[in-house]
Structure 1
């Protein structure tokens, strides 16, 4: 019996050491900023990778809340080394961020202009197949602001917003009546 309990304890400890859901870190990110409560998310460590999975937005949750959580998570793990960070929606990976870029974002959090971080973030991403998700733009400041913010909005759509909006529309459409009374019956 003692050997069995010891074996279970060791397997649990190895699971924690090798990876798994990071509940304490999730709680810390939410506790440090009450605005983060609008985002249902999970953090997982898998080998040399970190997974940041958005599950849902509630109340007044927005893409900026999701991104702020990512930045605060990067700050929390700024001393850690990851090969890559997977950005997923309900456990389906949508984008990959290099671990070095994630570390730099965490180290610069609070010092770097957040608008710069937002604007340049999409060009750091890869698709799950490894291809670049967005190109690095060159040009004047107004052009860059326009195209980089368009990339940021597109990234949020592809990451989680398009799916959430489709779900909300489906729920709304399901509540609509299927049959309508004729004009003669109404008037």
Structure 2
């Protein structure tokens, strides 16, 4: 009887420990290493895990905090650095969350592309075209694509990038949430 109770206690503890370790070594450790490699990331608090901690097909990039010394660009750069760190992995989608609340998502193939191109792609191009690849959680595009003259298109893309940042984390961070 005592052995049975002990078993009932040990099995969940072992399972939780295994899941936590799997998430840590699979995605959090690469994120932590990517953030630590760039001093501009100091002040950012980001947590990475699999969806529901067990669905390794979906990655969650959860921004937990931004210090007053960090900019919107720091957050986006940290996401790109993480994409580079896990570029050998395949995910169906990447959920972008703020303090545990999912806000947007990216297709996994696009996140992989961001990681593969991070070392050589023009970061201004990457950032201004990023919103075109951002989806609402229901799968609908969060922002449109733009056509027309270069200056007009770039202007709209940068407006979308700013709107994306505000909706993802800036509005809440500015209000103290």
TM-score (norm 1): 0.80
Structure 1 residue 41: deviation in Å? 1.3
Matches within 5 A, 1:87-166: 87-166=96-175
Q: Alpha-carbon deviations, 1:103-156, whole Å to 9, x = none?
A: 000000111111110011001011012111011111121111100000000000
Greater Rg over alpha carbons, structure: 1
Q: Report the CA distance shift for 1:9/1:37 in structure 2 as closer, same or farther (over 3 A).
A: same
Structure 2 CA distance for aligned equivalents of residues 30 and 15 of structure 1: 20
Partner of 2:50: 45
Which of 82, 94, 102 lines up with 1:85 in the alignment? 94
Which of 135, 157, 176 lines up with 1:167 in the alignment? 176
Structure 2 CA distance for aligned equivalents of residues 11 and 56 of structure 1: 25
Partner of 1:176: none
Q: Alpha-carbon deviations, 1:42-67, whole Å to 9, x = none?
A: 11122111111112211311110100
TM-score (norm 2): 0.85
Can you give the 5+ residue segments of structure 1 that lack an aligned partner in the other structure? Answer: 169-187
Structure 1 residue 34: deviation in Å? 1.1
Conserved 8 A contact 1:87-1:93 = yes
Number of residue pairs matched by the alignment: 166
Runs of 4+ with deviation above 3 angstroms: 3-11, 14-17, 19-23
Partner of 1:34: 39
Q: Higher RCO, 1 or 2 (CA under 8 Å, sep at least 6)?
A: 2
Structure 1 residue 11: deviation in Å? 5.3
**CA root-mean-square deviation:** 2.2
Structure 1 residue 93: deviation in Å? 0.9
3-state secondary structure, aligned to 1:167 = coil
Structure 2 CA distance for aligned equivalents of residues 104 and 82 of structure 1: 11
Can you give the 5+ residue segments of structure 2 that lack an aligned partner in the other structure? Answer: none
